[in-house]
Amino acid sequence: MIEVKDLSKTYKVGTDIVKAVDNVSLKVEKGEFLSIVGHSGSGKTTFLSLIGGLTKPDSGTVSIEGTDIWSISDNKLSELRNLKINFIYQFSSLIPTLDVIENVLLPTAFSRDKDKKYCDYAMELIETVGIQDKIKSYPSQLSGGQQRRAAIARAFINRPSIILADEPTGDLDEETEIEIMNLFKEMNKNNGITFLIVTHSSELAKHTNKQYRMLNGKLNEA
């Protein structure tokens, strides 16, 4: 389902060239629940962005359901991101001008199919993440945990087949972390959504079925 072949990405930092991702290959089957563990600067976030089509690799290919994402037009890639892949970030990724329900519905603004009835599903998702009493609240009125829950609800609104999560429980308390990971497991089990979670925490990685380790841009199975 996700096939990464010989993927490399370098950055220029001042006069130095840093290899963020170094010739990485990976195969992820549909419905897998896996994690990539690595310390800060190991290249795991860059790797996730390359898989999600947010940044272009220097070399190598990324195929999602058989489509080489860097050989298609920007519009097609945007459509792919909109319908099949979604991201959950470690920071507050809500749009401050929109309330919770609007934030959850946001990806539908870029969807071609405007006739779909998303509102009921958005309400269902908000209830699932347990912030139903906050639907009209703005991000500034929410706690860090509530913001993360709203972002998770948003990630599922277009019924994606892949979730790419970058430190999804970073700076959250242990209790919330467990709740969120349980929610991911449920979504993975019930809806067959593929999860690729990158984290610095080996403890968090233990919740996933398969773990990889990333070090200096190289990926190895843990």
Partner 1 sequence: MKVSHIALKNIKRKFFRSIAIIISVTVVAATLFSVTTVMDSVETSLEKGTARLGADIMVVPAKAQAQAKATLLAGEPSTFYMDRNIVDRVRKIEGVKAASSQVFLKTAKYKCCAVNDMQLIGFNPSTDFSIKPWLIKKLSRPLRDNEIIMGRELTAFDVGSSIRIYGKDMKVVGMLDETGMKFIDNSVFMPYSAMEKISEESKTKKGVKAANLPIDKISTVLVQVAPEISAERVAIFIEHEIDGVKALVTEHVISSVRKQLFVLLRSVFSISIILWVMALLLIGVVFSMIVNERQREIGLLRSMGASKGNIFRLIMTEASILSLSGGILGIIIGGVFIYVFRGLIRSSLNIPYLWPSPLEFIILIAICLFLSLATGTGAALYPAIRSMRMEPYEAIRGGE
CB of 13 to partner 1, least distance (A): 13
Among 6, 39, 65, 95, binds partner 1 (CB under 8 A): 95
Window 190-219: contact mask with partner 1 (x via CB under 8 A): ------------------------------
Our finding on whether 40 is near partner 1 (CB under 8 A) is no
Our finding on whether 102 is near partner 1 (CB under 8 A) is yes
In the complex with partner 1, the residue whose CB is nearer, 32 or 99, is 99
CB of 5 to partner 1, least distance (A): 20
Total residues at interface with partner 1 (CB under 8 A)? 32
Determine contact, residues 149/129, Cβ cutoff 8 Å: yes
Our finding on whether 161 is near partner 1 (CB under 8 A) is no
Among 25, 109, 136, 203, binds partner 1 (CB under 8 A): 109
Among 42, 108, 169, 194, binds partner 1 (CB under 8 A): 108
Which residues are at the interface with partner 1 (CB under 8 A)?
46, 49, 52, 54-56, 74-75, 78-79, 81-83, 86-87, 89, 91, 93, 95-98, 102, 105-111, 154, 158
